[in-house]
Structure 1
Amino acid sequence: MANWEGVQEFVAVAETGSFTRAAQRLGISVAQISRQVSALESRLSTELLHRTTRKVSVTEAGRLYYQHCRPLLEGLDEAERALTRLQGQASGLIRLTAPITYGEQQVAPLLNGFLLQHPAVRFDLQLTNQKLDLIDGGLDLAIRLGRLEDSSMMARRLGSRRLYVCASPSYLSQYGEPRTLAELQDHNCLPGTLDSWRFRESGQERSLRVNGSLRVNSGFALVDAAIKGIGLVQLPDYYVSDHMARGELVPILEEFQPDDEGIWALYPRSRHLLPKIRLLVDYLYDALNNGPANQVTASAAARIVTRGLDDWRELGEAEPL
């Protein structure tokens, strides 16, 4: 296998334009990437990469070598996929990202369940509310909420989340229950990171600016304030469902509830989806069990996220994952 040493590392650097991003993609150290590529160049007696303190670029010889190596690596990937399909199990590192709260409450427990079923898998989960670039970050998968931005990524809707406006029984007893959107101006509406709340009125989406005595970028802090009778909140179901079930919070203005928002699995476009990623996405979909089992381009999902699922099939942009 000596002839293969350094090839995967070189291809990763050539495609990402960076030793750091190549290391992130392959899950190894920058030093190891550098050593392997240098050893490959030494063995070939050819400079494959131009290195400066600011950038890395591929030489003419490197471009020729890359053109021959890329199909060989794809063949190896396909061979591994064939074995994985035969074995019916996933293995290897999966690097993914998810929003902090949803990731802690929903995604991480599901990943732990997946690990129990597939002990040969390893996860590197990054919880952040920043939308990380999958290619630059060497990520295999991202869990995104709400409307998708236009991109070249592929997207699969895993489920949905619902927004609720809630208040405690004590607040409603003291200040009354608003029956129309206009009445919200007379109430203490506690905003989170956004100045506006979303509603649907007369079949149309509507954003309404709200004000209150507390602004905080924590859903848990808003829930606590609402339970204590301080004001109204609008939050996704995973924050408030349990509290509504226990009667600690009461949903209001339900006739103005906005459309459910999508929960998406986002991953780079590829001719072949790695079996471990396919198995994980299927597992997440089955566990959430709330959304259409369709795969579309992220740009298409961004355009038609508010349209019916049948429209995706009519547009011809859906493919079975």
Structure 2
Amino acid sequence: MRRQFDDVLVGSLELFCLAAEMGGFTRAATAAGVTPAAVSRSVARLEERLGVRLFVRTTRHIRLTDAGRAYWTHCRQALEQLAEADREASGEQSEPVGRIRISVPTTYGHYRLLPLLAEFHRLHPRIQADIHIGNRNIDFASEGFDLAVRVRKPPESGLVARHLEDAELVLVASPDYLQRRGVPDSLGALAGHDCIQFELPSTGRRIPWLFKEGATDIELETDGPFLLSEDVLGGVSLACSGAGVFQAYRFTVEREIAQQRLVEILPRHGGRSRPFNLLYPSGRHMPLRVRAFVDFLVASLGRTSWPGHGR
């Protein structure tokens, strides 16, 4: 096999990644034990080889160009795989080491993932976790993510979906709202109530509410004065303030129900759920640090209680 990389080039890649992560040549040089000029020469060598600018430089700051950010993502993954290959070959893989990146929706992040991370860190202190909390679709390759939690697996995405749980949905409103507007006694009665909507950021479509009518599953389009996007937990805050009726995951409102800040309504039409899945690219070698996180998360979901939240 023809050589494409020499020791100088690999060293340049390491210094480039360090400069990108630390936001400056001087800080990267200090961390690497070299001079700032050495870092600058390494980056210039890469830019000449690639024929693109990797950084925009000012007198005080540097920032990655679009091409530089894409290149950094791939280089960081490649260097981590090289480091892991060294650890495996030398027998150091008894303890998972390194950084993982995971994207998780706001609901699952706040009520499921984040409460578990302190325990995960105690078990695996040499793993660093970068957590992206948000509801937009991410690109595994260009953004360097190892894992994502999502309700839906993108079609024909080449991703593996590992089922985590079916999250029960519940319809709620505040006692104050129900005293003013009355308690709806049927699904049809919801048409006369202020229903709080959430809009999917990926499609711009309002999420229909899910119910059961006997043995039949029903999707109900509702309307109201409030339309939310990005953060579905805003609907819980609005419902608690007396703004209207909201359908939420039970795990996001069970504490408010227990404290009587919210009341469950139309329970006979409940029982529907949405699945949460752990996604990761297929065909890619799964590093030990990622496998340790996956195994921990799946095992932890079998608990009957959660740190900081009731269940």
- In the superposition, the TM-score normalised over structure 2's length comes to 0.66
Cα-to-partner distance string for 1:104-130 (whole Å, 9 max, x where unaligned): 343223223211211111122222221
Does the aligned pair in 2 maintain the 1:164–1:234 contact within 8 Å?
yes
- Alignment-derived partner of residue 129 in structure 1: 135
- Alignment-derived partner of residue 304 in structure 1: none
- Alignment-derived partner of residue 123 in structure 2: 117
1:226 aligns with 2:239: yes
Gaps (5+ residues) in structure 1? 13-21, 42-46, 57-69, 291-321
1:156 aligns with 2:162: yes
- Describe the SS at the equivalent of 2:227: coil
1:283 aligns with 2:296: yes
Cα-to-partner distance string for 1:294-321 (whole Å, 9 max, x where unaligned): xxxxxxxxxxxxxxxxxxxxxxxxxxxx
Partners in 2 of 1:222 and 1:91 — Cα distance?
39
- Alignment-derived partner of residue 165 in structure 1: 171
- Describe the SS at the equivalent of 1:156: strand
- Alignment-derived partner of residue 244 in structure 1: 257
- CA pair 30-264 structure 1, distance change in 2 beyond 3 A: farther
- CA pair 269-77 structure 1, distance change in 2 beyond 3 A: farther
- Alignment-derived partner of residue 180 in structure 1: 186
- Alignment-derived partner of residue 299 in structure 1: none
- Describe the SS at the equivalent of 1:192: strand
Does the aligned pair in 1 maintain the 2:171–2:266 contact within 8 Å?
yes
1:210 aligns with 2:222: yes
Q: Post-superposition shift, 1:271? A: 5.1
Q: Post-superposition shift, 1:220? A: 4.2
1:196 aligns with 2:203: no
Gaps (5+ residues) in structure 2? 29-38, 55-64, 68-77, 200-205, 304-311
Cα-to-partner distance string for 1:179-200 (whole Å, 9 max, x where unaligned): 3221211222122322632224
- CA pair 74-123 structure 1, distance change in 2 beyond 3 A: closer
Q: Post-superposition shift, 1:164? A: 1.0
Q: Post-superposition shift, 1:167? A: 1.9
Q: Post-superposition shift, 1:147? A: 2.2
Q: What's the Cα RMSD here?
A: 3.9
Aligned length: 257
Partners in 2 of 1:182 and 1:38 — Cα distance?
67
- What pairs up with 1:54-93 in 2 under 5 angstroms? 77=84, 80-81=87-88, 87=94, 89-93=95-99
Partners in 2 of 1:171 and 1:126 — Cα distance?
35
1:273 aligns with 2:286: yes
Partners in 2 of 1:260 and 1:35 — Cα distance?
56
Partners in 2 of 1:8 and 1:238 — Cα distance?
48
- CA pair 84-235 structure 1, distance change in 2 beyond 3 A: farther
- Describe the SS at the equivalent of 2:255: helix
Q: Post-superposition shift, 1:207? A: 2.5
- In the superposition, the TM-score normalised over structure 1's length comes to 0.64
Does the aligned pair in 2 maintain the 1:205–1:258 contact within 8 Å?
no
- Alignment-derived partner of residue 260 in structure 1: 273
